[in-house]
Structure 1
Amino acid sequence: MHAQNDLNGAPLAKLALEDGSIYSGKATGALGEVTGEVVFNTAMTGYQEILTDPSYCGQIVTMTYPEIGNYGVNEADVEHRKPALSGFVVRESSRIDSNFRSEGGLSDYLRKHNVVAIAGVDTRALVRRIRETGAMRGVLSTTDLDDASLVAKAKASLGLVGRDLVREVMPAQQSKWEHGLDEWTQVGASAAAGNQPHVVCLDFGMKWNIPRHFHARGNRVTILPGTTSTEEILATQPDGVFLSNGPGDPEPLEYAHKTISELLPQVPVFGICLGHQLLALACGAKTFKLKFGHRGVNQPVQDLETSKVEITTQNHGFAVDEDSLPSCLEITHRNLNDNTIAGLRHKESGAFSVQYHPEAASGPHDSHYLFEKFQAMLAGAVKG
């Protein structure tokens, strides 16, 4: 079918959920049809970072804030080479981009990167439905506007459980990262390259602000695909290994479980988000799917050692099952909204992880200390 237009000439669009719910609006990005798990993010800003976060692969993302796009987009704030999400849903897409850093409008950016998007949706009703029922499969279309057809397609689409989405977003080969953070002084960057700690990032769909943090602290940074073997990783002579964020279900990634379990006795390990889940699985724990996940920049987490509360950026739909934790893992942080595990430490090796994003792009900077903690571990490895 061809796209249909409203009275003002804007292409019509519809979002259908597997439970039969239909949400109508108008296209504000590329034309076409996509399927994915429909989720929501509560952030007021950071829509460009959300669009380019590889962790959203396989998902149709709904923004709860009513107007999106008012400060435009730019190339400096992207978190990956291109958007990986399936689709984008907003209440209103701003027709004006007003910011001195803006290089263009949101709708043009969506069309440029072939992201199917819909505006004019009652996002409050949609989010209420997701919170009550849980994240659901959906279809977003500008070409098929028949309700029954769309619901059937949503029911027939693939879910996230049991799928390896990492292979769709991870890099194909090894690379070096040489970009820092504009607002940071590169501590130790003037030192001889051979004396700089070497961080190897296993990329399962990594946000670029993470290697920016490592490089800004004076480290040499090498990025390897998440499927890289233990032998290949150790051949690069890392002082520490980072386990990145990424999309989907962590349990099917058995290659990562094996590699991480082999690395634990040999090098310091730091995991974020999917990397946190993979560390737990490598140690014998289990994970489970959350009802509607944690996605936003205002999630409260408590550090159990200091009792301090951090406001954190989060984006995940799975969590570590506390009842399955082996004795070698200790809980270090908790999500105060639902008491799920938000951080772990390995009691017998230099490994720790968190179920949130301390690189804060976008979001609060409360958790930057975790990079300093890993930095101290790297320094110890270099001296050793």
Structure 2
Amino acid sequence: MLQRKKASLLLEDGSLFHGFSFGAEIPTQGEIVFNTGMMSYPESMTDPSYAGQVIVFTYPLIGNYGVPAQKREHQIVQNMESEKIQCRAIIVAEYSDHYAHPTAAKSLEHWLKEEKISALTGIDTRALTKKLREHGTMLGKIIFDTPLHEPFLDPNEQNLVASVSTKQRIVYGDGPFHILVIDCGIKHGILRSLSRPDTTLIRVPWDYDFTDEIEMYDGIVISNGPGDPKMCDKTIQHLRQAIQTYIPLFGICLGIQLLALAAGANTYKLKYGHRSQNQPCIDLITKRCFITAQNHGFAIEKNTLPESWNTWFINANDGTIEGIQHATKPIFAVQFHPEACSGPKDTSWLFDYFLQEIKKYKQQQTVLTQPHG
């Protein structure tokens, strides 16, 4: 192992974990969360849902396949989930100095330093994860020679969505079906899954007011994103008007929470969240179980959904709500990531289902607008 600078993780309860730096030597702080996935650290680190957070990777060896060069097609990143690292820092048990993979363009260490992101190795991640499971998600600071004297700041008290959402309108494709994509911190995997020869995606900021032009679109997607959904008051207000119509709506991750709040339900913070690629979810209609990729710290409170809404999926581990749908309208949402990236694609059919609903809606609108007599 190379000679590395000593660094530590200080938790808000005073616990101290000692290790070594292998990223940028910049003191930082955030919400400490753990990810139990065995692979795909570049995808996780570039997921905007991790904004404000420090990721603890529970898999013991990280960095052994390096980092690929970023690939783009039609303005969409093809092999990562955004254009840059989104988390505040990462913590691993053992960083691999040596890497090998046909697509690797640089080491994880080089990438971290390039993007000025802190990282610790040599940490007892088993003990740290057990602590987070027992006590719940905690705030923490990565410190070097001198303590970080700033008070602990909870990122969930900020509007993190505003910091990761697009600042301008972006159009992808030129197909006949026009889909409005509300960007609350969207993963590019969702854009890749929606980009098809027959779709045009119109990606807009989180607070974009589309209510006066809703007839211009054939469907609406509400993306994933970081933080407390209740911070997105403008999005909730716009969705409250949208669900009064019959336009197809599809919410993903944060999107399900925003849709639920717009419908009148409540959300709450989970003890330590769901962050892995192996979360089992049960379809309450078919009774089938799907393995899903997840990354969220909030959920819908049971028994708060209005009567016009049904629970569609539940988590087989803890029974939390993982999917909802309107009883009479083509409006639905899931807490997991059907695009995976990374993870199993067991539920990628949901994108096909959404596009089928869009086609039905488009046909109905065509019939209604045709002259009679």
Per the TM superposition, whether the score is higher than 0.5 is: yes
Query: 1:202 deviation in Å?
Result: 0.2
> Does 2:293 align with 1:313?
yes
User: Secondary structure of 1:261's match?
Assistant: helix
Q: Which moved more, 1:252-261 or 1:224-233?
A: 224-233
> Does 2:158 align with 1:163?
yes
Match of 1:265 among 244, 254, 258: 244
Which residue does 1:244 correspond to in 2? Answer: 223
Which residue does 2:307 correspond to in 1? Answer: 327
**CA distance in structure 1 between the partners assigned to 2:85 and 2:194 by the alignment:** 23
Q: Which runs of 5+ in 1 are unaligned?
A: 1-6, 179-192
Which residue does 1:36 correspond to in 2? Answer: 30
> Does 2:270 align with 1:290?
yes
User: Secondary structure of 1:251's match?
Assistant: helix
**CA distance in structure 1 between the partners assigned to 2:114 and 2:213 by the alignment:** 36
The one-character-per-residue Cα deviations of 1:47-71 (angstroms, maximum 9, x if unpaired) are 0011100001111110000001111
**CA distance in structure 1 between the partners assigned to 2:307 and 2:189 by the alignment:** 33
Match of 2:334 among 331, 340, 354: 354
**CA distance in structure 2 between the partners assigned to 1:28 and 1:61 by the alignment:** 15
With the length of structure 1 as denominator, give the TM-score of the two structures: 0.89
**CA distance in structure 2 between the partners assigned to 1:117 and 1:143 by the alignment:** 15
Displacement over 4 Å in runs of 4+:
none
User: Secondary structure of 1:137's match?
Assistant: strand
Query: 1:218 deviation in Å?
Result: 3.2
**CA distance in structure 2 between the partners assigned to 1:207 and 1:340 by the alignment:** 23
> Does 2:195 align with 1:215?
yes
The one-character-per-residue Cα deviations of 1:142-184 (angstroms, maximum 9, x if unpaired) are 342xxxx45x75xx22214443110110010000135xxxxxx
Identity of aligned residues (%): 38
Determine if contact 1:201/1:243 at 8 Å carries over to the other structure: yes
Which residue does 1:61 correspond to in 2? Answer: 55
Q: Judging changes above 3 Å, is the alpha-carbon distance between structure 1 residues 91 and 254 closer, same or farther for their aligned structure 2 residues? A: same
Report matched runs for 1:98-117 at 5 Å.
Answer: 98-117=100-119
One-letter amino acid of the counterpart of residue 238, structure 2: T
Which residue does 1:70 correspond to in 2? Answer: 64
Query: 1:96 deviation in Å?
Result: 1.7
Q: Judging changes above 3 Å, is the alpha-carbon distance between structure 1 residues 8 and 376 closer, same or farther for their aligned structure 2 residues? A: closer
With the length of structure 2 as denominator, give the TM-score of the two structures: 0.92
Match of 1:20 among 14, 19, 25: 14
Which residue does 1:9 correspond to in 2? Answer: 3
Query: 1:98 deviation in Å?
Result: 1.0
One-letter amino acid of the counterpart of residue 47, structure 1: Y
Q: Which runs of 5+ in 2 are unaligned?
A: 72-78, 365-373
The one-character-per-residue Cα deviations of 1:215-250 (angstroms, maximum 9, x if unpaired) are 136311110001101336527x11100000000000
Q: Which moved more, 1:160-169 or 1:238-247?
A: 160-169
The one-character-per-residue Cα deviations of 1:284-304 (angstroms, maximum 9, x if unpaired) are 000000000000000000011
Query: 1:349 deviation in Å?
Result: 2.2
Report matched runs for 1:137-148 at 5 Å.
Answer: 137-144=139-146
Which residue does 1:132 correspond to in 2? Answer: 134
User: Secondary structure of 1:361's match?
Assistant: coil
The size of the alignment, in residue pairs, is: 355
User: Secondary structure of 2:195's match?
Assistant: helix
One-letter amino acid of the counterpart of residue 244, structure 2: P
**CA distance in structure 1 between the partners assigned to 2:93 and 2:213 by the alignment:** 45
Determine if contact 1:33/1:143 at 8 Å carries over to the other structure: no
Query: 1:94 deviation in Å?
Result: 1.3
